[in-house]
A and B are shown apart, each in its own frame.
Chain A
Amino acid sequence: MDWLEDELRRALAREDPPDGLAERVMARSARGPSGARRWLAAAAMVVVAAGAAGAWRQHQGNQAKQQVMLALRLASAPVQHIQSEIRGISQ
């Protein structure tokens, strides 16, 4: 079993990172995402914003429609009443 222990020891042995790794990682993270990723994120934001704007417009439209319905319903009731009274007289 010595060979196995040797293999494991070798595989799990602590290794120092190559020189300059920390500097390279820091520099990469400071540069931010790549151009393609930036465009992808921007496109996703545009899609989400457009969707939200569409949903908001739909919501506003439905609210306006409900208001119109309510206004016409309230306005029509007296006119209907007058109509029916006049019909009642003429019959």
Chain B
Amino acid sequence: MKSLVKFACLTVLPVMAAPQQFQLNLDSVAAKASEHVDVSLNASTLQFAAKFLDSSDPDEAKVKKLLVGIEGIYVRHFSFKSAGAWNEADLEPVRAQLHGPEWSKIVGVVSSEDGENAEVWLRTSGNKSIGVAIVATEQKEITVVNIAGTIDLETLAEIGGHFGVPKVKPADKPHKEE
């Protein structure tokens, strides 16, 4: 019995404590990628990092404000040397989890011309949104994100124009919105 309790403490409690809301099990993608970025930030790391953000800097102040309410950020980004190096089946382990009842897809964009697809999923508990999942694919790139907690997507998009990343201009190409 004691060993059962110990086993439960060792296995269940860490899972309960982990704010990550779905498994980023993308080993098959990682095996094919030429570059791989893996960022996992829990609440304490985010709070610690927030202390080093300069409130007098408008951009950093915006990030600091955005971090309030976020309990974790988990990102996997893969780059490939050539188009066609990965296929949709590689993302199935992640997508299968997002088809659970707690997740709902709020927006998805498929660009048939350049193959840039992006979808945003919202995790809700009651009437409250408690997390976001982002799956974005290009011919030579895949990005999967889980942000646990509450986040303002408008602000998230805004800060993308800072920190050396140019903002994406409005598209003037054929596209299809889901």
Contacts and interface: CB of A to CB of B under 8 A. Distances in A.
Interface stretch (A12-20, A21-29, A72-80): A72-80
B6 interface: no
A88 B143 contact: no
Interface in A48-91: 58, 60-62, 64-65, 67-89, 91
Contacts of A91: 170
A41 to B, nearest CB: 33
A87 B157 CA distance: 13
Contact of B52 (A62, A74, A76): A62
Given A64-B45, A91-B170, A76 B160 contact: yes
Given A82-B120, A84-B168, A85-B175, A64 B156 contact: no
Contacts of B31: none
A89 B108 CA distance: 13
Contact of A81 (B37, B39, B49, B116): B116
Contact of B175 (A60, A72, A83, A89): A89
B163 A82 contact: no
Given A71-B75, A74-B143, A77-B136, A85 B109 contact: yes
A70 B37 CA distance: 9
Given A71-B41, A72-B73, A82 B118 contact: yes
Interface of A: 58, 60-62, 64-65, 67-89, 91
